[in-house]
Amino acid sequence: MTRPANDSPLEVNCPQCAKQVPWLPESTYRPFCSKRCQLLDLGAWADESHRISGESAMDEADIDTLLAQADKDAPLS
């Protein structure tokens, strides 16, 4: 990232607590302000509280059903 024209470091909001974090190599946990905020965010992903929107993934039963249907539809040679 580039620095603004006034030579002050770019600052971003911590995704967890919204505290301003300077975007510098010294900011070890950027974009988070601290290890605590970083771990809270990771825990939310692991707990599936955070999700990327989109279609649900297929489970094994859906895949087995599709494979069985494909076998029925395949012409015999």
Asked if residue 7 lies in contact with residue 15, where contact means CB atoms within 8 angstroms, the answer is: no
Ligand-binding annotation for 41, yes or no, is no
Ligand-binding annotation for 33, yes or no, is yes
Query: Please, what sign has the CA dihedral across residues 26, 14, 53, 62?
Result: positive
Ligand-binding annotation for 37, yes or no, is yes
Q: DSSP state, 49?
A: S
The binding site for Zn(2+) comprises 14, 17, 33, 37
Q: Which residues are annotated as a binding site?
A: 14, 17, 33, 37
